[in-house]
Amino acid sequence: MPDDHRRAERLRQAPRTDRSLGERMRAFVEALQTRICKAFERLDGAATFSADPWERRGGGGGLTRVITGGDVWEKGGVSTSAVHGELPARMVEALGVGAGTFFATGLSLVMHPRSPYVPAVHANFRYFALGDDALNPVDHWFGGGADLTPVYPERADAEHFHEVWKRVCDEHEVADYRTFKQQCDAYFYLPHREETRGVGGIFFDYLRDDPEGTFLFVRQAGRAFLSSYVPLVERHKDRAWGERERAFQTYRRGRYAEFNLAFDRGTRFGLETGGRTESVLMSLPPVVRWDYDWHPSADTPEAEALAFFRPHDWLGIGDSSEGSREI
Amino acid sequence: MPDDHRRAERLRQAPRTDRSLGERMRAFVEALQTRICKAFERLDGAATFSADPWERRGGGGGLTRVITGGDVWEKGGVSTSAVHGELPARMVEALGVGAGTFFATGLSLVMHPRSPYVPAVHANFRYFALGDDALNPVDHWFGGGADLTPVYPERADAEHFHEVWKRVCDEHEVADYRTFKQQCDAYFYLPHREETRGVGGIFFDYLRDDPEGTFLFVRQAGRAFLSSYVPLVERHKDRAWGERERAFQTYRRGRYAEFNLAFDRGTRFGLETGGRTESVLMSLPPVVRWDYDWHPSADTPEAEALAFFRPHDWLGIGDSSEGSREI
């Protein structure tokens, strides 16, 4: 049993009384934000992240960090927040609980690369607690995930991304790659297009049975994020592209905007509960096209791309409910 | 009393038994579609409307007409449809009625001009009936409206637009400009931005008390549409503009996409009930930008524009609940 698993086991037996899980998660996501922003700045070489601290009227606040106009990143954001206060009515309804106080903290990131050959990525790691006593919450859980949205998808990229997440899941009893992968396909789905948003990844929510074990999983998932994505950026960022690829990229970004504005629960929730609008909508792509009823010609790279936007068993672990691996 | 009002009065006394209101409305919107498309093509001089007939699996269909890449119109659509069948579950729920059959017909248009100085426009006229017998529906009603979305708003444009709609409303007992105008401000509102989508217009729904009188009003509103909008296109279409104005236009179109995807009931309904996606989303702007936390500098035309995006008493008819006329 690795050291960190042993430490989690000790904490299960003798929970910490000095620092709440919420505070520990908050410290973790803030450190992760710094680390991820530094790595992304290094990758870009030109642009740097801004830092926009903000306060929430009802309690708490956040730090929104955005990078735009870079060589690699056309627009991207890595945000953390730690908010608390009375549960908004909309949340009472959504969670099916009584009125009371809550605490929520997390990191959320979306990166829109300039190159149509570099996939966009989204990741999110969050903790939510109900009740007045942070050390003994009435209820609390973790959620999160990571998913990849290429414009010109390649199987090797999807496989690398999923392999990293499977490896992380396999190390933790609280995590099941196959379930989380299917939840990701189901969540990032555009019913009106009958398309997944991208090539998936993992998605999990309401993990509440083993808080110490789950926090350990979430930390390792957060730390694994860069290794799931940065190799793909490095693989494609210097590949030449032109107007045709740019047009397809901005067209595909329309799907991203459709999903985020019309279907993403986090975005809708943020807009409906008076979240900081610019932070909630930081995920929207920088430039988007909507062409009426456009379809790629047969046997073009654009037509091949579309075959990727349905669930696939990338790692060949067998699941008859999914599409074939053959693309 | 004008002839058409006398005719409506006669039909109130002796309803037609040969042709349902639904069929008459359908014929009206189809003729209106032809007329509006011709006028818009003339205005453009270069591009013409395509014609995409489509069928609905459950019954009926429509004709989607789209114009793109014109000198005046960057993208626009004028659609009609006439659909019928079993009420989808989502509609049973939304309308609070039992299962049964329905008929719906209408015209919907959205025009996105190329020039940032020419306002975008939306209009919609629709009829909905419940029940098997088209000549004696269980329930039926009209809805619709028209609203203007300038990028660089001018008071004279808003006044002209509202004057036309007030004049039409004033001629009909079923229509009240003040109410319809307020409903428009309330409907085309982005709560997360605390902005109206544009400078408003009129919006009405569930007009069911006097079907013949309402159909007459809807016909006159449909016929008045071109006079509410075309003079504004002619006024501004030849004005020179550059990259700065284009950037502000594509930025403001982000608001349009946010409203349509996240808040517009018609769009959400269409996506949720399996409407023809490309027809439902034909309203989305052709090119959109999202810049993180962008604000115009003080005393620029862009800063002045933002003052228009809240309810205004354009015609000075007095309403203390609205913002001042002074812009």
pLDDT tens, residue by residue, B148-187: 999 999 999 999 999 999 999 999 999 999 999 999 999 9
For residue A104, the one-letter residue type is A
In sequence order, which ranges of B172-210 are alpha helices (DSSP H)?
177-187
Report pLDDT for B246.
Answer: 98
How many Cβ atoms sit within 10 Å of the Cβ of residue A306?
14
Token pair belonging to B2: 């004008």
In sequence order, which ranges of chain A are alpha helices (DSSP H)?
3-13, 21-44, 89-95, 155-170, 177-187, 211-236, 243-258, 265-272, 277-280, 301-306
Task: Give the CA-trace dihedral at B248, B253, B255, B261, to 10 degrees.
Answer: -160
Q: Which of the residues B108, B287, B293 would you substitute to probe the A interface, choosing the one with the greatest number of A C-beta atoms within 10 Å?
A: B293
Q: Which helix (H) or strand (E) holds B75?
A: strand B73-86
Task: Give the tens place of pLDDT for each residue, B213-230.
Answer: 999 999 999 999 999 999
Report pLDDT for A101.
Answer: 93
In sequence order, which ranges of B131-202 are alpha helices (DSSP H)?
155-170, 177-187
B122 catalytically annotated: yes
Q: How far is CA B190 from the centre of its chain?
A: 17
Active site residues of A: 122
| The pTM of the whole model exceeds 0.90 | yes
Task: Give the CA-trace dihedral at A220, A223, A227, A228, to 10 degrees.
Answer: 60
Q: Give the count of alpha carbons within 13 A of A14, CB side only.
A: 4
A68 vs B contacts (CB less than 8 Å): 291-292
ipTM higher than threshold 0.90: yes
A272 vs B contacts (CB less than 8 Å): 191
Q: Where are the domains of chain A?
A: 3-295
Rounded-to-integer distance, Cα A271 and Cα A254, Å: 19
Rounded-to-integer distance, Cα A76 and Cα A284, Å: 9
Question: What are residue B53's DSSP bridge partners?
Answer: B63
Which one of A250, A262, A291 has the shortest CB-CB distance to B261? A262
What is the 8-class DSSP label of residue A9? H
How many Cβ atoms sit within 10 Å of the Cβ of residue A75?
26
Measured over the CA atoms of residue B204, residue B228, residue B316 and residue B214, the dihedral's sign is negative
Question: How far lies B312's CA from each of A24, A80, A284, A321, in Å?
Answer: 50, 38, 30, 55
Rounded-to-integer distance, Cα A312 and Cα A7, Å: 36
Report pLDDT for A1.
Answer: 67
Q: What is the CATH number of domain A3-295?
A: 3.40.1500.10
Token pair belonging to B257: 């996409």
* Radius of gyration in angstroms for the set of CA atoms belonging to chain B, rounded to a whole number: 20
Q: Return all residues near B236 (Cβ < 8 A) that are at least 6 apart.
A: B115, B117, B118, B119
Q: Are A262 and B268 inside 8 Å of each other by CB?
A: yes
Token pair belonging to B18: 């040969």
Token pair belonging to A48: 């740097």
Q: Does the structure show a pLDDT above 60 at B321?
A: no
Task: Give the CA-trace dihedral at B266, B270, B275, B276, to 10 degrees.
Answer: 70
Report pLDDT for A274.
Answer: 75
A54 vs B contacts (CB less than 8 Å): none
Q: Return all residues near A247 (Cβ < 8 A) that are at least 6 apart.
A: A289
Q: Are B290 and A285 inside 8 Å of each other by CB?
A: yes
Phi, psi of B63 (to 5 degrees): -130, 110
Cβ–Cβ < 8 Å for B154, B170: no
Which one of A268, A282, A290 has the shortest CB-CB distance to B281? A290
Q: Does the structure show a pLDDT above 90 at B89?
A: no
**Of A82, A131, A122, residue with least CA distance to A106:** A82
Q: Are B278 and A289 inside 8 Å of each other by CB?
A: no
Could you tell me which residues of chain A have a Cβ less than 8 Å from any Cβ in chain B? 52, 66, 68, 75, 77, 191-193, 250, 254, 257-258, 261-262, 267-268, 271-272, 274, 277-278, 280-282, 284-293
Chain B residue with the nearest C-alpha to that of A275: B192
Which one of B267, B277, B292 has the shortest CB-CB distance to A282? B292
Q: Are A284 and B52 inside 8 Å of each other by CB?
A: no
Cβ–Cβ < 8 Å for B141, B206: yes
Closest CA–CA distance from residue A241 to any residue of chain B (Å): 20
Q: Are B271 and A262 inside 8 Å of each other by CB?
A: yes
Average pLDDT rounded to a whole number, residues B288-295: 96
**Of A280, A209, A269, A281, residue with least CA distance to A87:** A269
Rounded-to-integer distance, Cα B324 and Cα B327, Å: 8
Average pLDDT, chain B: 94
Closest CA–CA distance from residue A200 to any residue of chain B (Å): 22
Question: How far lies A226's CA from each of A2, A109, A115, A117, A165, in Å?
Answer: 22, 12, 19, 18, 11
Could you tell me which residues of chain B have a Cβ less than 8 Å from any Cβ in chain A? 52, 66, 68, 75, 77, 191-193, 250, 254, 257-258, 261-262, 267-268, 271, 274, 277-278, 280-282, 284-293
Chain A residue with the nearest C-alpha to that of B69: A291
Report pLDDT for A327.
Answer: 56
How sure is the predictor about B19, in pLDDT bands with cuts at 50, 70 and 90? very high
Q: List the catalytic residue out of B122, B162, B172, B312.
A: B122
Which one of B68, B261, B293 has the shortest CB-CB distance to A257? B261
Q: Are A254 and B284 inside 8 Å of each other by CB?
A: yes
Percent above pLDDT 90 for chain B? 82
pLDDT per residue as tens, chain A (327 positions): 678 889 889 988 888 888 999 999 999 999 999 999 999 999 999 999 999 999 998 899 999 999 999 999 999 999 999 999 998 888 888 888 888 999 999 999 999 999 999 999 999 999 999 999 999 999 999 999 999 999 999 999 999 999 999 999 999 999 999 999 999 999 999 999 999 999 999 999 999 999 999 999 999 999 999 999 999 999 999 999 999 999 999 999 999 999 999 999 889 888 877 789 999 999 999 999 999 999 999 999 999 999 999 999 999 997 645 554 455
Cβ–Cβ < 8 Å for B153, B119: yes
Q: The tokens 């035309």 sit on which residue?
A: B301
Report pLDDT for B325.
Answer: 47
Question: Which is higher by pLDDT, B270 or A243?
Answer: A243
Report pLDDT for B102.
Answer: 93
